[in-house]
Every structure is written in structure tokens, then in C-alpha cells.
Amino acid sequence: MMQRKWKIAALLAVTLLTGSVYASAEEYSLDYDFLSWLFDFQRTKGVKPVTDKQYLEECGACHFAYQPGLLPAKSWEALLNDEALRKHFGVNAELDNDTLKDIRDYAIKNSAGNSWYKQSRKIAAATEQGPAPLRITELRYISRKHHDIPEKMIKGNKDVKSLSFCDKCHTQAGKGVYDPDTVNIPHYPNWDGWFNK
Amino acid sequence: MKCRNKFGNVVAGVCLAVFSGMVHADNAAGNNELPTAASFYTNNYQLLKSQSVNSAPFLLAANEGNAVQGQADLTPAAPAAEFSPPWLTGRKAHQYLGLGTVLFAGLTAMAAPGEACEHNCPAQPAPRETSGTTHTRLARTTAALAIATVITGLLYHWDDFHLEDGFSDPDNQHVMLAGTGALMMLYAINKSAKSSVPTSHAGIAELGAVSMLVAIKLTW
């Protein structure tokens, strides 16, 4: 009898747990189907890799094609418009209207708040309030993850130079994987100690 | 009792071997010139910051513009090697241990002895076995795995959870659910092991396992 009671309690708890996850899904107002995520066993720990060819070509022509899931929608809205692109971090990066619309739509659709990927969810939660961050390196989550890396490994490293060049150290950045286990800082193979990686 | 002592000794031995291996690897890994992430954890971070080994040039701070201008030549001339992620790291060990815990919890549930006798029962029921059966062995293995998972999680993901990020943060949810799940399983095992009469513990143990499973899914 007691065992049956516990089983009922367990069932109720599972329902509650599922409900809380579903509630957070609604909170994020995601397009992605909750059930698809629940039964999808593919790893979604990092950010969603870029799949749009146009985005890859246009953005990737000048710099690493940062995944849209690295910034919230409000940031992409502020970054991807005619005026902002004329002064895109000191460079004129204007695009024709059709291309800009496609890229902007793709970025917003896959932005941090619209993704089930874990790092995107963290970024979305951290940027929910306050002004739109315009630099990925300004995000609290990103700066916190890098705060204990000695400066000479990045700025003083001629093969890295800046945190902006994600793919210099994150060997699987193109796939949206930013796991510390996949980090290889040029010239510092033991940057984190073998067993600490 | 003898069996339990043996099991305890084996677990203690494995834990000691793992920890001494980790310390050895940490000491051998590297670059003595630089503090490792482990040293930030095992020592007081602020204290380390104030020491000469970790003086200003070693700290990245907040991407300020020209803190290390002219220091590019500090980079040692080491050839770039083809990188392949190591097959075993502390974080991967945590992952495998967590999955192993859930797997063993499932096996434990499957190996559970049946319900108590309801019809044609013997006058004198057999004494309850709290060790030496497949179920109890699996349960204790699950407990050891759960403890190891929590320890490795604290060691290698200590910088992933922050209270200020709130309840909706997936890493915070992971810590809360997985920690609670592990405690529930340990409680259930302890409750059952100490009882000489049949006791209800399956529900809480299963709930703990489900809690760990949800925690894994949230950060998978």
C-alpha cells in the first residue's frame, strides 16, 4: 500500500517537473516544439549552429559567423539595420535590402530567446532586462566564463588577440560547441591543466 | 556485514585513487608559471589575485583595451598541434557518472524483489535481506555513483551555477534537481538498509532517479 502511495507521488512529481519545464518553455515563448525538444536526444548544450547559407556567406566573409543564439533578438534588431550596418564596429557593412531582410529574419528567428540550446537559454535569461548588448564579449555570461583566463593567453597571444575571435580557441565553434573540453588556446596546450579541462 | 565492509573498502579505495590521480594530473599538467583553474577553486581566489604569481598581466579582466599592448612577444614559440578533445576529462567523467547513476537506478528498480506474500504465506516469513542480494548491491553502486557525480559536478562545474541567475537558469535547475535526486536516492537506500521489516522506499528512490534524469535533460 505504501509503495503504491510512493508511486503515485512519483507520478505526480514527474507531472510537476514536466509542467515546470513546459512553463519555462512558454516563458521563453519559443517556436520550437516542446515535445520535439523533450524527445530529441541530440546534444543541445551549446548554441544552434548556423545553417543559413546566405548568413554564413555574408557575415562569414569578414568575421566568424557568430551564431544568432549568442545574442537576444533585441540585439540583432539593433545591429542589423541600414544605419547600424553603415557603422558596423567601425566598418561599413551595408547590405542590399533583400539580403539584409533575410539575414535579419534568420538572426531574430534563431536568437537566444528563441532557442532551446542551453547556452542560448542562459544568454536569454541574462539579457532579459536592460539595454540590448551589442557585443557578445560584453555579455555577463561570456565575460564570466572567461574571467580567469590570463590576459597574455588572449590579448598577448599573437594567434588570438581578442575574445572576439571565438574560433581561434574554441575548436568546434563553427558547430556551436563552446564546451571547455574543446578549447585549445594556441601556444598554451595546458591552459587549464589536463584533468581540469 | 563482512560484505558491506568489503564494499566500503573498495569504494574508499577507488575514491582515494581517483582523487590522488586528479591531484597528480593537476600538478603535472602544466605550466607552473600560471595558476590553474583548480587552484582558483582549491585556494582563495581573492588571495591568489593579490599574490605575485597572479599579478595584473595574468588577469583578463573585462576586455579593457590596451592593458597588454606590446606584450605580444610574451607568447612562447610553441608549434601549433592538431587538436583533438581528450577522451576523458573531469567534465566528461561527471557526465558519464551521471548517466551511469540513472542507468544503475533503473537496474536497481528492475532487480527489486517482488511484493510481500499475500496468499498461502509461511507462518514464519524469511528474514529480510538488506545486503548480499543483486538489488542491494546495485542500490549501493547507484549511491556510490550518485555521490561521485555530485563531487565531480562540484569540482568541474563550480563556475556554472550562480544564484543571481535565478531559478530559470538551466544550470541552477540542473544543480537543484540533480542534488535533490541524489539525496532522495541516498535517503531511500539508507532507510531500507536500516530496516529489519519491509519498508516503503521504492517511490522516493524512483523519484530521485527521475529528478536526476530531468536534470540531465535540461543541460544535455
| DSSP per-residue string spanning B161-192 | --GGG-TT-HHHHHHHHHHHHHHHHHHHHHHH
Q: How confident is the model at residue B152 (pLDDT cuts 50, 70, 90)?
A: very high
Answer whether residue A25 shows pLDDT above 60: no
Examine residue B120 and state whether it is found in any structural domain, yes or no: no
From the list B192, B208, B190, the residue with the least C-alpha distance to B200 is B192
Question: Which chain B residues are within 8 Å of A197, Cβ to Cβ?
Answer: 86, 89-91
Contact A155 B169 (CB under 8 A): no
Cβ neighbours for B121, distance < 8 A, ≥ 6 positions apart: none
Whether residue A181 and residue B38 make contact (CB cut-off 8 A), yes or no, is no
- B46 occurs within a structural domain: no
Per-residue pLDDT, B41: 39
Residues 172-191 of B with CB under 8 A from A: 177
Q: How confident is the model at residue B4 (pLDDT cuts 50, 70, 90)?
A: low
Chain B interface includes A5 (CB < 8 A): yes
In a domain, B25, yes or no: no
Residue A147 has its nearest CB partner, among B25, B60, B76, at B60
- Sign (positive/negative) of CA torsion B104, B110, B112, B113? negative
User: Do B178 and B187 form a contact (C-beta atoms < 8 A)?
Assistant: no
Q: Cα separation of B16 and B18, whole Å?
A: 5
| Residue A152 forms contact with B (CB below 8 Å) | yes
Average pLDDT, chain B: 71
Is residue B165 one of the residues assigned to a domain? yes
Of A75-89, A179-193, B64-78, B187-201, give the range with the top mean pLDDT. A75-89
Helix (H, G, I), strand (E, B) or coil at B216: helix
Which of A9-13, A107-111, B73-77, B154-158 has maximum average pLDDT?
A107-111
What is the pLDDT, as a whole number, of residue B103? 94
Evaluate whether residue B191 is within a structural domain: yes
Residue-level pLDDT at B167: 81
pLDDT value at position B46? 42
B66 pLDDT higher than 70: no
pLDDT band at B113 (very low <50, low <70, confident <90, very high): confident
What is the Cα–Cα distance from A130 to B50, expressed in whole angstroms? 33
In-domain check, residue B143 = yes
**Which is more confidently placed, B88 or A68?**
A68
Mean pLDDT of chain A, nearest integer: 83
Structural domain of residue B195, as residue ranges? 88-111+131-218
Q: How far apart are CA B208 and CA B214, in angstroms?
A: 10
Which residues on A lie below 8 Å from B217 (Cβ)?
A: 38
How many domains is chain B partitioned into structurally?
A: 1
Question: A179 to chain B: which residues are within 8 Å by CB?
Answer: 91
**Tens digit of each residue's pLDDT (9 = 90 or more) over A122-153:** 899 888 888 888 999 888 888 888 888 888 88
pLDDT value at residue A22: 60
Residue B1, pLDDT > 60, answer: no
**A91 phi/psi in degrees, rounded to 5:** -130, 145
Residues of chain B above pLDDT 70, percent: 57
What is the number of CB-based contacts under 8 A between chain A and chain B? 176
Q: Contact A100/A83 with Cβ under 8 angstroms?
A: no
User: What pLDDT, in 10s, does the model give residues A94-118?
Assistant: 899 999 999 999 999 999 999 889 9
Q: Would the CB atoms of A152 and B71 count as touching at under 8 Å?
A: yes
Confidence category of residue B30, pLDDT binned at 50, 70, 90: very low
Nearest to A71 by CA among A161, A137, A150: A137
Nearest CA in chain B to A116: B218
Report chain B residues whose CB lies below 8 A from the CB of A3: 115, 200, 202-203
Using the 8-state DSSP alphabet, how is residue B120 labeled? S
- A30 has a pLDDT exceeding 60: no
Sort out which chain B residues have CB atoms less than 8 A from A184's CB and list them.
83
How would you classify residue A89: left for phi > 0, otherwise alpha for psi between -120 and 50, otherwise beta?
left
Residue B18 DSSP one-character state: H
* Contacts (Cβ under 8 Å, ≥6 apart) of B108: B135, B138, B139, B142, B205
> What chain B residue is nearest to A151 in terms of C-alpha separation?
B60
- Report which of B218, B81, B111 is spatially closest to residue B160, judged by C-alpha positions: B218
Cell readout for B76 is 612562447
Dig out the grid coordinates for A101 from the structure: 531582410
Chain A residues in contact with B159 (beta carbon < 8 A)? 144-145
SS3 sequence, chain A? CHHHHHHHHHHHHHHHHHHHHHHHHHHCCCCCCHHHHHCCCCCCCCCCCCCCHHHHHHHHCCCCCCCHHHCCHHHHHHHCCHHHHHCECCECCCCCHHHHHHHHHHHHHCCHHHCCCHHHHHHHHHCCCCCCCCCHHHCHHHHHHHCCCCHHHHCCCCCCCCCCCHHHHECCHHHCCCCHHHECECCECCCCCHHHC
Q: What residues contact residue B153 under an 8 Å CB cut-off, 6+ apart?
A: B94, B98, B175, B178
How far apart (Å, rounded) are the C-alpha atoms in residues A67 and A62?
A: 14
What's the pLDDT score for residue B163? 83
Asked if B29 contacts A197 with a C-beta cutoff of 8 angstroms, the reply is: no
Surface of B (95-134) touching A: CB under 8 A = 115
> Is the whole-model pTM more than 0.80?
no
Does residue A181 belong to the interface with chain B, where contact is any CB pair within 8 Å? yes
Residue B199 in domain: yes
The pLDDT assigned to A40 comes to 75
Largest CA distance in chain B: 89
The answer for residues whose C-beta is within 8 angstroms of residue B28's C-beta and 6 or more apart is A194
User: How far is residue A161's CA from residue B74's CA, in Å, rounded to a whole number?
Assistant: 12
Identity (one letter) of the amino acid at B73?
D
Task: Assign B129 a pLDDT band (cuts: 50, 70, 90).
Answer: confident
pLDDT for B55 equals: 37
* Interface ipTM: 0.73
Distance CA A174, CA B187 (A): 44
Instruction: Give the model's pLDDT for residue B18.
Output: 60
Residue B54, in any domain of the structure:
no
pLDDT category at B160 given cuts 50, 70, 90 is: confident
Asked if A37 and A44 touch (Cβ cutoff 8 Å), the reply is yes
Query: What confidence tens digit (pLDDT) does each residue in A42-73 have?
Result: 888 899 999 999 999 999 999 999 999 999 99
Whether B216 has a pLDDT exceeding 90, the answer reads: yes
Dihedral sign, Cα of residue B196, residue B200, residue B206, residue B208? negative
A189 band by pLDDT with thresholds 50, 70 and 90 = confident
CA dist A81 and A162 (Å) reads 25
